[in-house]
Every structure is written in structure tokens, then in C-alpha cells.
Chains A and B, each alone.
Chain A
């Protein structure tokens, strides 16, 4: 449940009050931008997508009935919009994870330089299929509950949980493979 202030803001926004709409944008725009950036890895695209997400949110806000929290509803729109974008986006050379991975042949994860390991992990996340990447981002970064993620992605909690575990195991294998363990 939202706090009282947020409920009032949402009701005012549903009536088209500009101050309420502005307040909701200010409250969530950084969070949504960061989430989208973690999905796309590109600042310009994240900026455009965030803008489009909020336009969509306030165009549809009259249909928000409070069955889920506003944040979950907002993430649902943001996730679906970003996934649609990612499936349409042509692969770019600079985005290919292997192109940007540092050369490294360490014997264990522990021996890899911190910065290198971070790059490996980051790129391994980008290698995941879009839907798994969304689940990892929502669960590992945003620490959302499976029930929320299931609602956002429109799947069952069980599917969500197993997809997340599979993604994390895949992530570990990918990092290990790239670091020649």
C-alpha cells in the first residue's frame, strides 16, 4: 500500500492536476531511469525510454485501480516497454559483451581484478535473454518480491523463481567461462 501522500497524489493525477503529476514524476523518475539503464546499458536510450514510460503512465493513470501498488504498476509499464524496445533493437557491435570484455586468464574469480570482474559480471548480465535480465534486475537490484515480479511480468511466482535461479546459475557459469576458470 502507498502512504497517504502518494494515494492523494495518484488521485489528483487521475484528475489531471499538474502539480500531482509533477510530484509523481519527481518521485520516481530516477528510480525508473536507473532500472531502464540496467536493462539497456545506454544512457541516451534510457532517457528516451523513461520519458516514454512516464507519458504512457500518465496517459493510462485513469485505469489504475489500486489493486497493486503504484510502484508495481509503474514497473510493469516500464518493464514491458523496455522489453519491447530491446526485442526490436538491432544488436550493435559496441553492445556485444565479448567486444568489451577485458582479456584475462586468471585461475579463479578471486584473482581477477575488481574492475575486471565487475565488467565481466555486467556484460554477463547483458548476455542474458531480455526477460531473464528483467527478472535479475528486478530481484537482485530492486530486491522486489517474487509476487511483485510475477505481476509485472505476467507469469506465475513459481516460474519467476525458477527463471531467476536459472539466470543466476547461467550468470555464474558465464562469468566462470569468460574468466577461464
Chain B
């Protein structure tokens, strides 16, 4: 190929790519193509290829895809965007990406991971040690113990506790603190306002 052909072909590619050539370059192309059959053929073929390149079908994904995408990004980068269900979905998505060739493995892996996390949580809670004060001085107040009315014997459930019974136990403050932490309440005041009332009225506790 002559050097001039190489230069002209580069200009042809640039022109096809949307570059604006100056008048001198355009005249040079026209002049060369009028007498070089190979370069004219090159120009025609490149025109066909560029037409097809630009006309290549592109996916038109549904708007929902972009909504999901936006929410996922916002959740990851903006503090306070996380929700439990979204976190689980994000976990699932991350697991799914680990198995790009086997998408069916993702639900299985997510399930196994979920069970593992559940077992780990259960084991952690089961072996959670009580406070020394409670273990030494007072009967432990647990939901599984049998019902009793004596101050030495704890009642069977929170709903059966009366305020007097609670006050009769030694280390009541420690007991309340432990209950508060186990029920995930924000402060002792809140616990007293909300939980004591429900204990006295016999309503079930909400731990969330």
C-alpha cells in the first residue's frame, strides 16, 4: 500500500467516525478516491461497517431496571438508605455475582449463608452469660422457668409478674438492666415507661 493510501484511509476512518475534516483534507480524499480503486472500495466497505456499527440493536431495558439500579446505588453510598429487605437483596445480589456461570447456585448459597448466620446468632444468644449479680443473688428471670408466687421463685412469664414481685427480688435494678438490654430498649426511662406498664397490664412485649 502506498503511503498516500494509508493517509487517505486514516482520513476516511476519521470522517466515518464523525470527525469534521477541513476542506483541504476533504479535497484530498475526493481527488485520491477518484483514481484509486482500492481506496474507493475501502471507503465503501467502511461506510457499510460504520452504518451497521451505529445501527447495532441496543437493549432497551425497562425503566424498572434503572429504578432498581438507582436504589441499589443510593443504598450503598448514602447513609441511612439501608432497609432490612434491601440488605438481604444486596446480600443475594453479591452472592449471585460470585456464581456468574451458575445462576441457580446463588439461591442455594444465599440460603446456606442465611442458615449459617441464623445458627451463629442462636449460638451467640444461647451462650450469652448472665450478669454476676443476677446469677448469685436472684433467681434468673427467664421465660422458660416455671411459674411461682414466692419471692424466691421467679414467675413463668413476663406477663405474670407484678410490680410488687419485681421489687421484692434482690438486685431488681440489675434485673431491669438485663431485661432492657435483651429487649433492645433505648434507655431505662423508656423501659420503665413502656415495659413496666405492659408488664402490669399483662400485654406481650415487643422487642423490635
Contact = CB atoms under 8 A, between A and B. Distances in A.
Contacts of B58: 34, 37-38
Interface string A28-48: 011001100110000101111
Interface in A22-77: 22, 25-26, 29-30, 33-34, 37-38, 43, 45-48, 50-51, 54-55, 58-59
A176 interface: yes
B54 interface: yes
Nearest to B78: A18
Nearest to A49: B97
Given A55-B76, A172-B45, A29 B70 contact: yes
A16 B78 contact: yes
A122 B73 contact: no
B56 interface: yes
Interface stretch (B59-67, B110-118, B130-138): B59-67
A157 B77 CA distance: 34
Interface stretch (B10-18, B28-36, B149-157): B10-18
- Specify which of B10, B53, B65, B81 lies most central, judged by the most chain A CB atoms within 10 Å of its CB: B53
- Specify which of B52, B76, B78, B97 lies most central, judged by the most chain A CB atoms within 10 Å of its CB: B52
Given A50-B69, A58-B73, A109-B49, 4 more contacts: A16-B78, A43-B59, A143-B17, A172-B46
Contacts, number: 100
Contacts of B76: 55
B74 A18 contact: yes
B101 interface: yes
Contacts of A38: 56, 58
B17 A117 contact: no
23 contacts: A16-B79, A25-B70, A25-B73, A25-B74, A29-B69, A33-B61, A33-B69, A34-B58, A34-B59, A38-B56, A43-B61, A51-B72, A58-B73, A121-B53, A122-B56, A141-B53, A143-B18, A165-B13, A168-B49, A169-B9, A171-B49, A172-B46, A175-B49
Given A47-B65, A141-B54, A37 B100 contact: no
Nearest to B75: A55
A26 B74 CA distance: 11
B73 A37 contact: no
